[in-house]
Structure 1
């Protein structure tokens, strides 16, 4: 167990211990509405944000360090054909299962601590690319068409890194949508985690996967650390420090 930072009543620590993985899985079950454990969990470093008064875990996520030779072992590789990233020469980290307790979902201090911990991990391991799956609730695309149109217009990833289609059910929004997005409506419908990635200069795949097991739509999302705006880097590192 390693304490990454402590801010006010929140303590953030990273762990690979079975007991802490179980705590993360318990919170994920509450946040996602279903039991959530997989074979990737034991391979990851788990980051837990705890209330120092009660000891309760209020937010968590997991980090899996990879490179071009091992990127096919990622969770995302179950859904996306990632051979393009085999040519990536730096350190990659897959960040997944980010969630907060529903009773604390809008606590800005809690979220700042989580992002500060992510920043500390990225800096400590010299990470060049952060990636993962950003999820929309449900599998119906209609409520999110403005959001997907915005992604097509503004946030598609560079062609040389883009994942190819692998999942049996996908929504090829970059090919199928021709609408001009209503940006205000798009931002309202874009998941908060994905909005944060996009503000950091993140990019997405050209298609969304329809994940019936998790009852979500998700897009592959990448954030190249060198592309994060300087002002946002300073804010993140201020929290991490």
Structure 2
């Protein structure tokens, strides 16, 4: 098999995950934070070693959403009413910064397995664009504003100091999809939605949008395909 999925069980495993994260978010520096100790860390290996990592924080329901990483940057009070388990997906990154289709399928297969195992009703997190200049992502952000806005009942409000409203203009769809981070592209293809603003994260050198995916809203054919990946 080209890829092998495993969970970090030792400090050495966690160090491998942190190494991928440091290369993506910290120019080689330390990316450990206070959330690492309460998360499950997933590693996807290939013949060269870790090719992808992400972490997951399980929450009993929306009443615990204030414990999440995203709650530092967004006012998530509306989500406190969500009455099913939730999973926060964070720090998704790959070796070299590129995620091919096979690697993404493996990652989503593992996510589907964990969603079913935990009974999660929503997957959420911060989806990041590289760099803090909005102009570089203008079409992608405009497409999110036009087609993928959060429903009013769950809409995240502003908490961070430096934010920008998603541009309200006609995007170039081809340019937008090319610039869209692969993970976010998959979220939206399954019915995911985003906040009406992006947070400028100078610490990580990114722009990010809050992203939510209600598991029950995933098209049935896509849900079956994901469960098939989880079993393969």
Partner SS, residue 70 of structure 1: helix
The reply on whether 1:181 has 2:171 as its aligned counterpart is yes
| Structure 1 position 106, deviation (Å) | 4.2
User: After the TM superposition, which of the residue ranges 149-158 and 26-35 deviates more from structure 2?
Assistant: 26-35
What's the CA shift string for 1:128-185, capped at 9, x where partnerless? 0000000111111112222111111110011111111000000012xxx332111111
Aligned CA-pair RMSD: 1.5
Contact 2:41 2:55 in 1 (8 A): yes
The equivalent position to 1:69 in structure 2, one of 44, 47, 63, is: 63
Partner SS, residue 160 of structure 2: coil
Q: How many residues align?
A: 228
Aligned to 1:9: 2
What's the CA shift string for 1:209-234, capped at 9, x where partnerless? 00001111000000000111112112
Partner SS, residue 123 of structure 1: helix
| Structure 1 position 120, deviation (Å) | 0.5
Aligned to 2:117: 124
TM-score computed with the length of structure 2 as normaliser: 0.93
| Structure 1 position 189, deviation (Å) | 1.6
Gaps of at least 5 residues in structure 2 are: none
Q: Which runs of 4+ in 1 moved over 6 A?
A: none
Aligned to 1:45: 40
Within 2, Cα distance between the matches of 1:9 and 1:215? 32
TM-score computed with the length of structure 1 as normaliser: 0.90
